[in-house]
Structure 1
């Protein structure tokens, strides 16, 4: 079974990072950049995608640190 992606998001005015599908964040607080760093390290360690959400909850950026199932063409 594939490992879940890591997401960095804002909830109740706090930046958090968690594995998708989990209700509980593994890192909470600090700035968006600080949480992005935490999420990036977890995604690299797990070899999965890191999804970074904007303040409004939309996806702002995705970075893959594992086997990309749909690599870019060209």
Structure 2
């Protein structure tokens, strides 16, 4: 859904962005930090937080 928050790994770092935006809102080397940030942003916006992790099936 447009406006959802997506956290994903790309080029060895974790990125969080709002769907529809072309640039990441935040970049982190730590998965936990990126997921926590994405969760907080999604909660504040009232949207879904999606974590794209090739090692885990995870959606919040």
Would you call these one fold, judging by a TM-score over 0.5? yes
**How many residues are treated as equivalent by the alignment?**
60
- Pairwise CA RMSD: 1.9
Q: Unaligned regions of 5+ residues in structure 1, if any?
A: 64-74
What is the SS of the residue equivalent to 1:9?
Answer: strand
Structure index of larger Rg: 1
Q: Which has the higher strand share?
A: 2
Using CA pairs under 8 Å that are at least 6 residues apart, name the structure with larger relative contact order, 1 or 2.
Answer: 2
TM-score relative to the length of structure 1: 0.71
Structure-to-structure mapping, 1:23-42, within 5 angstroms = 23-42=22-41
TM-score relative to the length of structure 2: 0.85
